[in-house]
Structure 1
Amino acid sequence: MVLEFTPQGIYCPAGDFFIDPWRPVDRALITHGHADHARPGHQRYLATDLAAPVMRHRLGDIALETIAYGESRKIGDARVSFHPAGHVPGSAQIRLEVSGEIWVVSGDYKTEADRLSTPFEPLRCHGFVTESTFGLPVFNWPRENQVAAEINAWWADNAAQGVFSLLGAYALGKAQRVLSLLDPDIAPILTHGAVENTNAVLRGQGLQLPDTIQVTPDTQARDYPGALIIAPPGALNSTWARRFRPASTGFASGWMRLRGVRRRRAADRGFVISGHADWAGLNMAIRETGAENIYVTHGYTDIFKRWLTSQGYNAKVVPTEFTGETLDEAASE
């Protein structure tokens, strides 16, 4: 086996390293900077040069080596390379080759291109470890320009009525993608500190985003009529958000495809947009690997595994501590 699935995480014996481990290890190869994949406590880290600034911002002074997309590196008896995953800026799939056998660990991925992340690159392999966050047929993403029109129309209508627009989006990836869709001529754009700090890191890497204003304890809502405020989902029901009244609340997430989720979150609007592959994207990515052996992690693992088995794949569920996309405060990354 090129990879073993251990209590610490996904382990490569030939190279003596782990991929996105959830327990402290000596050497960790990291697919991207979200907290369920890039955790503190490892002795050594390896990630893409594009993911490194966010990881340092979040994890502090870590021993971090970097690698460029497509660069090949020998670690022990394994040859590794990192390839675009399209999930967030710097996100990668990790390709491993040991004695002629090739495995790919996808991390989180999205197959549709945006203006922020390097587009997803299909990789041929013998074994593919895939996420399945949205591994049900109901999850099919609308076109991005449609979502942009929906968000801007909601915001403009609220602004015309003297109502603030509070929009929940992950601080890393989702918030910046939403920002890239906005019409900044409608009204000011305000951000939660967690979002603005991440914006600053990514702007420092050359990412083009519209102008934003960070909300501070001194921010007076009356100074920003009609503003759209972007914050991690968990902040929308906190005292932090109560200064913006009256307000309409929205969430940007793949989970907004399910009406019941929006009702439970008491959201006025839900916008279907995700950094993860939808049902069609998952199936396309797996098909393009040419792999017969598929290992399914976090999401609708059992259902997706049964579907893959019915399609002729040798599919297995791999328990992990990855969470994918949620609307919980703990995952507002």
Structure 2
Amino acid sequence: MEPVLTFTDNGIYCPAGDFYIDPWKPVPRAVITHAHSDHARWGNDHYLCTKDSVPLLQLRLGKEISAQGLSYGETLRFNNVQVSFHPAGHMIGSAQVKVTVDGQTWVASGDYKTENDGISGAFEPVKCHVFITESTFGLPIYHWKTQQQIMSDIQAWIYKNKQAGKNSVLLAYSLGKAQRLIYNLRGAVERFLVHGAIYNAHETLLQHGWPLPPVELITHDTPKEHFADSLIISPPSAADSAWMRRFAPYSLGVCSGWMQVRGNARRQNADAGFAISDHADWQGLLQTIRHTGAEKVFVTHGFSSVLARYLQENGIAAAEVKTDYGSEEDTTA
């Protein structure tokens, strides 16, 4: 039997349906798991994604793109191929892609996390014969605190900064991580002041009905006295920039799974590191693989060789696959 999906120089390909999943080179038909730029790239003739991802793809790639959106669980047919999207929990609109051909089901998970963050949708494991998993944090050292614990840590840090006369600045990726923080810290923060990249994503989501609290765009006219009563959120790209210096004196916090490793915050010249990730930790990866019931697992971007070897040693057929994903991992993770 021919494989449902194959791994090519353009990306993950479905021969029976003649489409690619998250291609890294331009193709006629692209099926997209989520709107981060390492998975949703410019230049494809047509994009198929979840309905919630359509406005985010248009924000990133331009309103002129040809994009079709499906609801979670809705099935589309290409020839004898059935395609559907299922919640991945990674960010708003993110999905796993379920592909079934002649009774064989493969699932390409894209990026995913197993803890429900309250805004991105709860992850749902999908039964399949073959599962394609990421492994961004595919090492046993990566074990996340609960989101509630992390949010409490951030609130305590903000209070400590205020007592010390410092403004609080968090670095968080503009699409996904920033909205997760804003949504879950609402009520604990008087005002959110944000960088333009975060503001644009936030406004797009507000326009499409997402229940996010309001934020204020930081401009040259933003009163400095607002800084002390606000949580300032910036993308990592603005760190050590002239834009950042306006907030002095400030304390800098980094929100990333990489903060799990001692010393990473110091290497980024940060005062605090919060290990909050939009990817599954080691136990989340293993639990998900077990729940799929997959007979074969392909492991992509991250610590792929480690996870693949662990699965093999524990009786699960697994193989490492090289992809072009992960170019944003240092910032979105």
TM range (shorter): over 0.9
Aligned residue for 2:20? 18
SS in 2 for 1:250: strand
Cα displacement (A) at 1:94 = 0.3
SS in 1 for 2:277: coil
Q: Aligned residue pairs: how many?
A: 330
Aligned residue for 2:307? 304
Cα displacement (A) at 1:210 = 2.6
CA contact (8 A) 1:234 1:332 kept: no
* Higher mean displacement: 255-264 or 32-41: 255-264
What CA distance in whole angstroms lies between the structure 1 residues aligned with 2:309 and 2:232? 41
Aligned residue for 2:154? 151
Q: Which runs of 5+ in 2 are unaligned?
A: none
What CA distance in whole angstroms lies between the structure 2 residues aligned with 1:232 and 1:239? 14
Aligned residue for 1:83? 86
CA contact (8 A) 1:152 1:183 kept: no
CA RMSD, 1 decimal:
1.5
Q: Percent identity?
A: 49
Code of the residue aligned with 1:287 in structure 2: it is R
SS in 2 for 1:170: coil
Code of the residue aligned with 1:30 in structure 2: it is I
Asked if 1:219 is matched to 2:222, the reply is yes
Aligned residue for 2:52? 50
Counterparts of residues 225-264 of structure 1 (less than 5 Å): 225-264=228-267
CA contact (8 A) 1:70 1:83 kept: yes
SS in 2 for 1:296: strand
Counterparts of residues 37-186 of structure 1 (less than 5 Å): 37-60=39-62, 61-182=64-185, 184=187, 186=189
Cα displacement (A) at 1:322 = 0.6
What CA distance in whole angstroms lies between the structure 2 residues aligned with 1:187 and 1:244? 17
CA contact (8 A) 1:158 1:226 kept: no
Code of the residue aligned with 1:47 in structure 2: it is C
Counterparts of residues 307-326 of structure 1 (less than 5 Å): 307-323=310-326, 326=329
Task: Spell out, residue by residue over 1:238-266, the C-alpha distance to the aligned partner (whole angstroms, 9 max, x if none).
Answer: 11111000010001111110112212111
What CA distance in whole angstroms lies between the structure 1 residues aligned with 2:96 and 2:327? 15
Asked if 1:295 is matched to 2:303, the reply is no
* Higher mean displacement: 208-217 or 12-21: 208-217
Task: Spell out, residue by residue over 1:151-209, the C-alpha distance to the aligned partner (whole angstroms, 9 max, x if none).
Answer: 11111221232211110001111001111222545443210011111111112222222
Normalised by the length of structure 1, the TM-score is: 0.95
Normalised by the length of structure 2, the TM-score is: 0.95
What CA distance in whole angstroms lies between the structure 2 residues aligned with 1:211 and 1:101? 46
Aligned residue for 1:33? 35
Asked if 1:2 is matched to 2:34, the reply is no
What CA distance in whole angstroms lies between the structure 1 residues aligned with 2:173 and 2:267? 18
Code of the residue aligned with 1:74 in structure 2: it is R
Aligned residue for 1:285? 288
SS in 2 for 1:224: helix
Code of the residue aligned with 2:255 in structure 1: it is A
SS in 2 for 1:50: coil
Cα displacement (A) at 1:124 = 0.7
